[in-house]
Amino acid sequence: MIHRNSLTQLAAGLRAKKFSSVELVRAYLQRIEASQPALNAFISVTAAQALEAAAAADRDLAAGRGGALAGVPIAHKDLFCTAGVRTTCGSRMLDNFVSPYDATVVAKLKAAGAVTLGKLNMDEFAMGSSNETSYYGPVRNPWNPDFVPGGSSGGSAAAVAARLVPAATATDTGGSIRQPAALCGITGVKPTYGRVSRYGMIAFASSLDQAGVLAASAQDAALMLREMAGFDPRDSTSVDTPVPDYLAALDAPLAGVKVGLIKEFFDEGLDRESERRVREALAVLERLGASLREVSLQNLPRSVPVYYVVAPAECSSNLARYDGVRFGHRCKDPRDLQDLYRRSRGEGFGAEVKRRIMTGTYVLSAGYYDAYYLKAQRVRQLIAADFKRAFGEVDVLAGPTSPTAAFRIGAKTADPITMYLNDIYTIGANLAGLPALSVPCGFVDGLPVGLQIVGPHFAEARILNVAHRYQLETDWHLKAPERFA
Amino acid sequence: MTGANESAWETVIGLEIHAQLATRSKIFSGASTAYGAPPNAQASLVDLGFPGVLPVLNGEAVRMAVRFGLAVGARIARHSVFARKNYFYPDLPKGYQISQYELPIVAQGSLDIVLDDGSAKRIGITRAHLEEDAGKSLHEGLGGLTGVDLNRAGTPLIEIVSEPDLRSAKEAVAYMKKVHTLVRYLEICDGNMQEGSFRCDANVSVRPKGSDKLGTRAEIKNINSFRYVEKAIQYEIARQIELIESGGKVVQETRLYDPDKGETRSMRTKEEANDYRYFPDPDLLPLAVSEEFIEEVRRGLPELPDEKAARLSAQYGLSAYDAGVLTASRELADYYEEVVRAVPREPKLAANWVMGELAAALNKESVEVGSGRMPAARLAGLLARIADQTISGKLAKEVFEAMWASGQGADAIIESKGLKQITDSGAIERAIEEVMAKNPGQLADYRAGKDKLFGFFVGQVMKATQGKANPAQLNELLKKKLPG
């Protein structure tokens, strides 16, 4: 039952030669294959390359070499470019796209010795909260296959929850790491904007996108993040500040830590049962010595409308490069240039992506720019200022990750606004560029619920510390869906 | 289009000049900017707009833009912003061009141009901003298909936008030439117009003389020679005047100049124009330029054309016109000064030769002054022989031609051709006496008062000495001897 080991245990076990990387990779590949019909978590499985990399890792380990993750199997959300491997972004548009280069995150994890098993399913171009917009079909929640795993990193979350990989990369533009982490009962960390390089990460909304990690625990996430983070000269928005050892800070006691409860998150939109689980979790933090106080972030309720102006605006421009000329989907026998553009894009993009491109094009148009884009940017600054003020009073902020536990597949696809409201508690951290994570804190009707912790800029070590101390006291993060236990 | 009554109208012109910056790599990628590589050989993944790639600003491009800004006395923005200009076109791989929109790096500068009457006119420079060039669409030899070459995509440009201060095609050309000279002085642009390194868009409108309201303008796109700028604007002025005078209205539109037909043609009207949906590029941080950096760039500025012209004028006693011509390029001015350093007492002679014989010879063969075709020391060698009267100015031209053809120095040519000037008055006197003896009739006429025959004797003596007689001495001796 090798898959019951945590990432941390696997890395240590490999180093202690309890098992080989090839053994591990074989075991996980089997689990992936067996799960695929039920969960659809993977878009591509790169078994041959993985076994080759595992053998190389074993040689390194035998020689006493290899990085912190030497031989450990992981998988990437399918928007991280992987050299020589198809990178689809969950879209028909890139169904045929084989990246000629590795994303910085991919290269860094490779350098740390991690072995990639494949590419994980996701909402198309990371636009969605349920993983139902993927061209490759919905991912199913390992806790109940009739339910969504959350999105957009639904494949990453389901794979980690079902123990198909011990950890996976993911990205978070408005909650795409934290919300699926909550819905699948795992730990998900979105670092500070600029902490992890965006180079090679296919852009959705550049000012909000941030790479992070999905893992079983805060400890595992800290190990992954330590290898992923750092300045990258190829990303002008990455920040040149040293990466602390996130593992070293995990055990610090919580005595005296001031936790702010975000008043606006405990609103009428929050499911009562979910609220109970979150309050129980906060009580655990209090028992550990943290002090709780309510703080108000008045502008935070504007997060969703602000986000749905800024993110589509950026995406309308970011996705203009998919024009059928140099890569990606090209329509058959275009009559002329306009026909090439219209049909290639019309056929290549799905409905949600088109909806956001149209929204974004509209809000940037002459005559509307000031009323929408500019105003949204101003409110965004107000929201960031609210957070800054709050962090003058408390060390971390806490609240629910998502208004409800997972919902049924198909339940919200007809109403985009209802779907968008899923991210109401997560978007704020993206707008302000703050690090935030979600840890499992119980269940409602057999489906997991997440507690969200948000920190000041570059306080990853602090929020991981709070999450880890919480996980030392609780065992929600150790629970796995029965079918995959 | 000659029927138009142009004198009743005033022309208003503003230029947008695009100058490719002479950086080694592109503005947002490490790919080379060298011209002439096979299609797409110099397009990196960033230039190709591949999924996931990100732009990183080339600091050298910023330095060059600041150099330009300081040279035109502009304000350098401590904080400027890159924006995306969104539109679809095959040579624009990302579907947007990274440019600067609301906050350009350079604002509010000016340049002085010299008008025909010798007076100076100040032309305002509204702004100059950094942006990336697009690629090129190729239509020839592809069997009806369109090819895309992205070698040029991402080449750094500064777009220099003038105020609508120009009042004629001539002024526009003078201004464009001035900017052309300046960017080459600053070594920020090679100025090569054939390769498209330096090109402009002209905004042209007309209004009744005395009116202070601007007329509707047409924008003529992508003109890449001084001559075409002049012709395109002249055509456009005449077209607009004729249109208005015949009861029509100028529509705001983009036009293209067709040099073969000598006319401008409508490309698209305002209604068809793109809505570029500018917004700040979230992939690039606002560009911060420190005071220290600006000062460092300022200290590195070369002597600028106007300063240089004023100095040459004062130092060497040259006319404003000559100083202007000699400072048209830094290479030419440097060349001139190198010549003068070798013949320090002959600055005017040097100016005449550099602007005259040398310029003509260079022009004829289309070679640059700095090419080494005629090193300054070699030309100075010739001027020294004129100065010390070894040869006459007239013979010097012959010597120059021989030097140009053979690559030899003046002394070697003078020696081998036996062109050394005769300054021995005895020898000249002997030649005069021979000529007088051979032409008794003319001599008698001269002595009878036909003064004009003086020139005849000069010519005859020169002929007899193969042009080598020192002209001043000859004159003097003839004046003494002819009257008898």
Using alpha carbons, list the distances in angstroms from residue A414 to A133, A269, A409, B352: 12, 19, 11, 84
A152 is catalytic: yes
**ipTM of the modeled complex:** 0.96
- Closest CB to B283 among A99, A206, A313: A206
For residue A66, give both structure tokens. Answer: 């290899």
Beta bridge partners, B100, equal B82
- Set A21, A77, A156, A274: catalytic member: A77
Contact (CB, 8 A) for A209 and A197 = no
pLDDT for the residue numbered A329: 98
pLDDT value at A270 more than 50: yes
pLDDT for the residue numbered A421: 87
Domains: count for chain A: 1
Does residue A286 sit within a domain? no
Contact A207 B282 (CB under 8 A): yes
Residues 6+ apart with CB under 8 A from A441: A277, A278, A280, A281, A449, A450, A451, A470, A474, A476
Q: Cis ω on the peptide bond leading into residue B119 (within 30° of 0)?
A: no
Cβ count within 10 A of residue A280: 14
For residue B406, give both structure tokens. Answer: 């053979």
Classify the C-alpha dihedral B367-B368-B372-B374 as positive or negative. positive
Whole-structure pTM value:
0.90
Does residue A386 sit within a domain? no
Contact A236 B88 (CB under 8 A): no
CA distance B161 to B175: 12
Contact B279 A89 (CB under 8 A): no
CA distance A67 to chain B (A): 26
Which conformational region is residue A255 in: left (phi greater than 0), alpha (psi within -120 to 50 degrees), or beta?
A: beta
Does residue A152 sit within a domain? yes
Provide the domain limits for residue A152.
2-253
CA distance B74 to chain A (A): 28
Contact B54 A198 (CB under 8 A): yes
| More confidently predicted of A414 and A124 | A124
Contact (CB, 8 A) for A88 and A119 = yes
Smallest CA-to-CA distance from A403 within A286, A304, A337 is with: A304
Determine the average pLDDT of the residues in A253-282.
Answer: 96
- Token pair 């070293």 in the structure block, residue: A248
Structure letter (DSSP) for residue A319: G
- In a mutational test of the B interface, the residue from A95, A325, A345, A377 whose CB has the highest number of chain B CBs within 10 Å is A325
Using alpha carbons, list the distances in angstroms from residue A367 to A310, A372, B101, B271: 16, 10, 16, 15
At A355-399, the pLDDT tens digits run 999 999 999 999 999 999 999 999 999 999 999 999 999 999 999
- Supply the mean pLDDT for chain A: 97
pLDDT value at A264 more than 60: yes
CA distance from start to end of chain B = 67
A176 is catalytic: yes
- Token pair 């150099």 in the structure block, residue: B67
User: What DSSP string runs through A44-94?
Assistant: EE-HHHHHHHHHHHHHHHHTT---TTTT-EEEEETTB-BTTBB--TTSGGG
Q: Which residues of A touch B55 (CB under 8 A)?
A: 236
Tell me whether B26 touches chain A (CB under 8 Å): no
Does residue A43 sit within a domain? yes
pLDDT for the residue numbered B5: 67
Residues 6+ apart with CB under 8 A from A43: A78, A86, A88, A90, A118, A119, A120, A121, A122, A134, A136, A155
CA distance A363 to A314: 10
- In a mutational test of the A interface, the residue from B56, B96, B148, B283 whose CB has the highest number of chain A CBs within 10 Å is B283
pLDDT value at A89 more than 70: yes
Q: Are strands B198-208 and B218-223 parallel, antiparallel or unpaired?
A: antiparallel
- Set A35, A134, A176, A402: catalytic member: A176
Contact A321 B51 (CB under 8 A): yes
At A145-204, the pLDDT tens digits run 999 999 999 999 999 999 999 999 999 999 999 999 999 999 999 999 999 999 999 999
Residues 6+ apart with CB under 8 A from A107: A200
CA distance B58 to chain A (A): 11
pLDDT value at A352 more than 70: yes
Please state the domain extents for chain B.
Answer: 6-296, 303-417, 425-481
- Closest CB to A317 among B84, B148, B275: B84
At A216-225, the pLDDT tens digits run 999 999 999 9
Contact B283 A236 (CB under 8 A): yes
A77 is catalytic: yes
Q: Are strands B106-114 and B120-132 parallel, antiparallel or unpaired?
A: antiparallel
Q: Which residues of B touch A361 (CB under 8 A)?
A: 277
For residue A31, give both structure tokens. Answer: 């689990």
- A369, closest residue in chain B (CA to CA): B277
Structure letter (DSSP) for residue A484: G
- In a mutational test of the B interface, the residue from A206, A326, A339 whose CB has the highest number of chain B CBs within 10 Å is A326
pLDDT for the residue numbered B4: 54
Q: What is the pLDDT along chain B (484 residues), one digit of tens a residue?
A: 445 567 899 999 999 999 999 999 999 999 999 888 999 999 999 999 999 999 999 999 999 999 999 999 999 999 999 999 999 999 999 999 999 999 999 999 999 998 888 889 999 999 999 999 999 988 888 888 889 999 999 999 999 999 999 999 999 999 999 999 999 999 999 999 999 999 999 999 999 999 999 999 999 999 999 999 999 999 999 999 999 999 999 999 999 999 999 999 998 877 677 899 999 999 999 999 999 999 999 999 999 999 999 999 999 999 988 999 999 889 999 999 999 999 999 999 999 999 999 999 999 998 989 888 999 999 999 999 898 878 878 889 989 999 999 999 988 888 888 777 777 888 888 889 899 999 999 999 999 889 888 999 999 998 888 888 888 888 888 888 888 7
Identity of the residue numbered A265: F
Beta bridge partners, A293, equal A260
CA distance B132 to B100: 10
CA distance B92 to chain A (A): 9
Query: For domain B425-481, which CATH number applies: 3.40.50.11860, 2.40.30.20, 1.10.645.10, 1.10.10.410?
Result: 1.10.10.410
Cβ count within 10 A of residue B406: 11
Does residue A151 sit within a domain? yes
Determine the average pLDDT of the residues in A64-85.
Answer: 97
- Percent pLDDT > 70 in chain A is 100
Chain A positions contacting chain B at CB under 8 Å are 79-81, 87, 89, 94, 97, 99-101, 103, 198-203, 205-207, 233-237, 313-314, 316-317, 319-321, 323, 325-328, 337, 341, 361, 364-366, 369, 373
CATH number of the domain encompassing residue A192: 3.90.1300.10
